[in-house]
Amino acid sequence: MTVCFDTDLIIRYGGRGPRYTSYPTALQFSDEMTADDYRENAIASNSSELPLSLYVHIPFCHTLCYYCGCNKIVTRNQDRVGRYIEMLYREIDMQSELFDKSRKIEQLHFGGGTPTYLDQQQLDDLMAKLRSAFTFDASDKREFSIEVDPRTVDEYDIRHLAELGFNRLSLGIQDFDPIVQKAVNRTQTTDDVLKLTLSARDAGFESISFDLIYGLPHQTVVSFDRTLDLVIGMQPDRLAIYNYAHLPQRFKGQRMINDADIPTPEVKLDILHRTIDTLCGAGYEYIGMDHFALPDDELVLARRDGTLQRNFQGYSTHRECDLVALGVSAIGHIGNVFAQSAVTTMEYEALIENGQLPISKGIAVDEDDLLRAEVIQSLMCYDKLSFDDFGKQHDIDFPSYFADEIERLRPLADDNLIKLDRSGIEITQQGRLLLRSIAMVFDRYINQASNDNRFSKAI
């Protein structure tokens, strides 16, 4: 199914909203969820015998990209890095004790910050530590991915990552235009990215993903077209194209960006429109929420066979796994519990130094949350929901349980974002770009009237 760009609908429905990488979203997490609750829940989860997914957060970066809104630490201080790694090792020991060794790690993701801030020796040691603490899946089923900053690696590093067991990587590109790169303080040449991409293919990486951003200073439709041409020439398996949210009051680094250099909303819409047409014309499929993939990529296959999910990495496969998060600010999802580690390294390290798990907040979801999470997943991953099937699966009468929500969906149906009838909901080609506005109808925590600026804009 393709996607259809409708400027009028985008202007009307493209306001702020959660990206639903979880439901409930992290805004609902509270300190009522303690480390003891997490421990109990993690131990109890072993009865499920489900495989595990590991997320490891490396918060460090060498330099500041001015657009960045991530939780990161820009430093060259190796003592600080060494101390963090030492505490991360202790957390690995504490967390691994909670889970049965029979539960294999089918999925691993290194995120940041910049995971490739770590040198080869540090990465070797960290992987060895993880392998000794958990049982890694060695089969083809495994999906081990790492976020790579092209400025921090060469061809030998890429080969080294493959030797460590990684088989998927994502490269942070943002834009190939030198003027845009200079304005955001992130300079990397097209040649270097091409070399890394070829090396990754050569080293046997099964999936290569590029991250791009539209709405950056000095971008125009023509300049972004040139970037897209270069990207398509390199044929990444997946693409994530994010909307730049300029919030200089919240993110200090963004104050280095001159407001006047940012494309107008009209130009941004034109860039997005052109991007969708160009990528779909080049054979990419629109997965949803900024993500595109080639037809033989696992995301497209997972969408077809019903194993696609939204999680903290955006879209992902391996829906069956419990997610164990390691490192500062990382969010785990075990059974019906979400738990986030302390968000500052000071707090994170102090808790571990004290012999405690570094959990600072979270939420235990209730039955209603689970139903709503399932509805939101269905809409965001598969663009449709059958009332009958959902009702049978969850033992509810969907039209009665969600009577209010169905009423609130009617204007969206009148505007042709969705088809709504007695059998269910189907998202139209126009609605696919506005998934979060549709999903928000089922979010019991959100005040739809407020244009909450803690969230980014849908478009």
Q: Which residues bind ligand SF4 (CB under 6 A)?
A: 61, 64-65, 68, 70, 72, 112-114, 149, 172
Residues composing the chain: 459
Q: State the SS3 of 24-85.
A: CCHHHCECCCCHHHHHHHHHHHHHHCCCEEEEEEECEECCCCCCCCCCCEECCCHHHHHHHH
Which residues are paired to 60 by β-bridges? 73
Nearer to ligand SF4, 184 or 435 (CB): 184
Nearer to ligand SF4, 173 or 363 (CB): 173
CA of residue 152 relative to chain centroid, distance: 21
> CB 408 → ligand SF4: shortest distance, Å?
36
Q: How far is CA 397 from CA 29, 158, 346, 417, 438, in A?
A: 29, 52, 49, 24, 21
What are the start-end ranges of the H helices in 97-168?
120-133, 155-163
Pairing of β 143-148 and β 60-61: unpaired
> CB 328 → ligand SF4: shortest distance, Å?
13
Structure tokens at 337: 């519990």
Nearer to ligand SF4, 208 or 425 (CB): 208
> CB 87 → ligand SF4: shortest distance, Å?
20
Nearer to ligand SF4, 75 or 356 (CB): 75
What are the start-end ranges of the H helices in 62-119?
78-96
Nearer to ligand SF4, 71 or 416 (CB): 71
> CB 67 → ligand SF4: shortest distance, Å?
7
User: How far is it, in rounded angstroms, from Cα 292 to Cα 74?
Assistant: 30
Nearer to ligand SF4, 181 or 317 (CB): 181
Nearer to ligand SF4, 68 or 280 (CB): 68
Contacts of 249 (CB under 8 A, 6+ apart): none
The values of phi and psi at residue 219, to 5°, are -70, 140
> CB 40 → ligand SF4: shortest distance, Å?
34
> CB 244 → ligand SF4: shortest distance, Å?
11
> CB 65 → ligand SF4: shortest distance, Å?
3
